[in-house]
Structures are given as C-alpha cells and as structure tokens.
Amino acid sequence: MANYSFQLVMQEEIKELLNVESSAIGNIPVTKEYAAITELLQNQIQQKGGKIIISGMGKAGQVANNMATTFSSTGSPAVFLHPSEAQHGDLGILRENDVLIVLSNSGKTREILELVDLARHLHPNIPVVLITGNPDSELPGKAKHVLFTGKPREICPLGLTPTTSTTTMMVIGDILVVLLMKRIGFTAADYARRHHGGYLGQQSRAKSH
C-alpha cells in the first residue's frame, strides 16, 4: 500500500514537471526576429555559400551541437564550434559569409563573450545571432539578432542545473531549422540524399518516390 501511494505521488510530481516544461515552451516570445534570422540564414548559407557556426558552453553547448547536426541534415551546412577550442586555433573555421549562432542562458558566459569578440576581430561583418534567457545582459549588445527564451525557471530543485532553459533553447533551434527548411523548399528527396542508412533513410527514400 505504501509503495502504491509513493507511485501516485511520483506520478503527480512527474506531471507537474512536464507542465512546467511545456508551459515554458508555450511562453517563448514570438517576435519578428525569427523571420529576419530565417532570411539571413537563407541569404548567407544558400545564396552566398556560407555555413552556420553554432557555439555554446556546457549544457548550452550540447544543445548547440544538436542544432548544428540538425541544420546539416536538412540542407543547411552547420558545425559546432567549442568556444574554448576556438581560442586555440579552431576559430579558423569561420569564413566571412558564415553566420555565428551563440547560446548563453545568462548572457554573461565569458567564453561566449570572448568568442564573439574574436570572431568579429577575424571577420568584422560576420552576423551574430544570440539565443539567451537574459536580454538585459552584455551579449545582446554584441548580436545582430536576439531570440529570448522567456527566462523559464529551472525544474532542477536547486534552481541551478540547466533543465528548462536548455529545453527552450532546443525548441528555438528546432523552430529555426523548420522555418529554414520551408523557406528553401527542402524535400524528402533532398533528405534522402543526406540519409543513406537507418530507418530515417528508408522513410525519406520511400517518400521521395
């Protein structure tokens, strides 16, 4: 009986956590920046032959890496750039027609602030897009476009571990990917050419015939 009661309590707790996360997604501000960024990405990547460079530190970096692979698999070449490794030569991957997307929940991440400055020193006109939970920090002033997560509270009981904040960053990344796919007319046949193996490869080839 005690175990059954514990399971009920845990189920309610899980539902509450899911509600907090889903509410955070629903509260992501929808602004004109999304359209502007989509147009920027199309112009730089599809028309000028540039690529998307995405960077973040820690958990935000893991989200950035996922964004890069998703962009690449849907027709827009992208790579993840570790902000610390950038200071040891990896910055050389940047070209003048690229777009730099940086993720920082606090908007104060030292490595990201330094990366933006270094990128601008190498290519002064490189456009920077920021995804952040703090529009009043230093980083927004260094970016051409800013997407705000809505600054959701973390579901971590300590209020410290990146949880809800990274969820909203991931969703924003998905939105940018989908908007760009639609803008460039990315098809199942295009998808199939980039996915030769696995279930998704089979599905995309089936849809393209």
What is the per-residue pLDDT across 57-103, written as a single tens digit (0 to 9) for each? 999 999 999 999 999 999 999 999 999 999 999 999 999 999 999 99
Structure confidence at residue 203 (pLDDT): 62
Q: Is the pLDDT of residue 202 over 70?
A: no
Q: Is the pLDDT of residue 140 over 80?
A: yes
Q: Token digits for 33?
A: 């920046």
The helix/strand/coil state of 158 is coil
Q: Is the pLDDT of residue 164 over 70?
A: yes
Q: Which long-range contacts link 155-159 to residues 24+ away (Cβ below 8 Å)?
A: 155/17, 155/20, 155/21
| Residue extents of the structural domains in the chain | 24-208
What is the per-residue pLDDT across 111-122, written as a single tens digit (0 to 9) for each? 999 999 999 999
56 beta partners? 103
Q: What mean pLDDT is reported for the chain?
A: 92
In angstroms, rounded to a whole number, what is the distance separating the alpha carbons of residues 156 and 162?
8
Structure confidence at residue 192 (pLDDT): 83
Q: Backbone dihedral region of 130: left (phi > 0), alpha (psi from -120 to 50 degrees) or beta?
A: beta
* Spatial CB neighbours of 98, under 8 Å, sequence gap ≥ 6: 44, 50, 51, 52, 53, 123, 126
Q: Is the pLDDT of residue 205 over 60?
A: no
Sheet holding 78-80, edge to edge: 78-80, 52-56, 99-104, 128-132, 145-148
Q: Please report which confidence band the pLDDT of residue 188 belongs to, taking 50, 70 and 90 as the band edges.
A: confident
Q: Length of the chain in residues, anyone? A: 209
Q: In the predicted model, what is the mean pLDDT of residues 166-180? A: 98
> Which comes out higher in pLDDT, residue 187 or 21?
21
Q: In the predicted model, what is the mean pLDDT of residues 4-26? A: 89
Q: Is the pLDDT of residue 199 over 60?
A: no
* Spatial CB neighbours of 195, under 8 Å, sequence gap ≥ 6: 73, 201, 204
Q: Please report which confidence band the pLDDT of residue 179 belongs to, taking 50, 70 and 90 as the band edges.
A: very high
Cα of 185 vs its chain's centroid, Å: 21
The helix/strand/coil state of 122 is helix
Structure confidence at residue 3 (pLDDT): 73
Structure confidence at residue 209 (pLDDT): 59
Structure confidence at residue 117 (pLDDT): 97
Q: In the predicted model, what is the mean pLDDT of residues 15-35? A: 96
In angstroms, rounded to a whole number, what is the distance separating the alpha carbons of residues 63 and 157?
21
In angstroms, rounded to a whole number, what is the distance separating the alpha carbons of residues 33 and 164?
22
Structure confidence at residue 201 (pLDDT): 53
| Domain 24-208 listed as CATH 3.40.50.300 | no
